[in-house]
Chains A and B, each alone.
Chain A
Amino acid sequence: DTAVSQTPKYLVTQMGNDKSIKCEQNLGHDTMYWYKQDSKKFLKIMFSYNNKELIINETVPNRFSPKSPDKAHLNLHINSLELGDSAVYFCASSPGGGGAGTQYFGPGTRLTVL
């Protein structure tokens, strides 16, 4: 009964390929997020959806496209992968409103672009 799950855990691919990462939460939360953690361990917000509506879209290349088919799922699709996309990507969820800072993170997806 994992709260926030991500698949796959590891992703190794060639430059120029397109890949997707899936995220699901069973906490009943309204809000979901995608973060990127680089090699220096710095965690940076990329996107956030609240009830399937995009509410945060940081300065991210448009090769990255989030999709939220329903409140429990937030997927991340990446086109034309580049070497600099190598990182660990975390999905998170939180209650809406005042609880939005208490975020529950998934285990991460380590993406390696060769």
Chain B
Amino acid sequence: EDQVTQSPEALRLQEGESSSLNCSYTVSGLRGLFWYRQDPGKGPEFLFTLYSAGEEKEKERLKATLTKKESFLHITAPKPEDSATYLCAVRRDYKLSFGAGTTVTVRA
């Protein structure tokens, strides 16, 4: 069975304090690793797709990287509006298997 483990569960940062979130995965026939952002009371919002080891994607202060066993989401100089739960998921066929998420709180 596909397994996705995210760490840490929660992360409290000061504004401007860069950090990284980890997503380790076990899946046969990986067809992509996905990062989503979820704000309280809302549905997840797509951020990135990574397909192969060594691939990197960037969007504003976020950068996602992928190895054969894990992915990292780096948050550079975060702002309070980056506060959210970040979800990692792996795809096999049409199915996405999600991790439990990392809740990031950025204090001004």
A interface, CB within 8 angstroms of B: 4, 31, 40-45, 48, 50, 55-56, 90, 92, 100-108
Cβ 8 A contact of B42, one of A40, A50, A103, A108:
A108
| Complex-state Cα separation, A100 to B38, whole angstroms | 19
Provide the main secondary structure of the chain A interface. Answer: strand
Judge whether B94 and A48 touch: CB under 8 Å.
yes
Q: Which 7 A-B pairs have the closest CB atoms?
A: A105-B43, A101-B91, A43-B98, A101-B32, A100-B94, A105-B44, A101-B34
Tally inter-chain residue pairs, CB-CB below 8 A.
52
Provide the main secondary structure of the chain B interface. Answer: strand
Judge whether B95 and A56 touch: CB under 8 Å.
yes
| Complex-state Cα separation, A4 to B43, whole angstroms | 10
The interface size of chain B toward A, counting residues with CB under 8 Å, comes to: 23
Does B11 count as interface, using CB distance less than 8 angstroms? no
Minimum C-beta distance from A87 to chain B (A):
14
Cβ 8 A contact of B49, one of A43, A50, A102:
A102
Judge whether B101 and A101 touch: CB under 8 Å.
no
Cβ 8 A contact of B100, one of A4, A40, A56, A104:
A40
Judge whether A56 and B49 touch: CB under 8 Å.
no
| Complex-state Cα separation, A48 to B100, whole angstroms | 21
A31, A50, A92: residue with the most chain B Cβ atoms closer than 10 Å:
A92
Which residues on the B side are within 8 Å of A92 (C-beta)? 43
B31, B34, B38, B43: residue with the most chain A Cβ atoms closer than 10 Å:
B43
| Complex-state Cα separation, A113 to B67, whole angstroms | 42
Judge whether A56 and B94 touch: CB under 8 Å.
yes
Judge whether A102 and B46 touch: CB under 8 Å.
yes
Q: Which residue of B lies closest to A45 (CB)?
A: B95
Which residues on the B side are within 8 Å of A45 (C-beta)? 95-97
A103 with B46: in contact, given A41-B100, A42-B100 (CB under 8 Å)? yes
Does B64 count as interface, using CB distance less than 8 angstroms? no
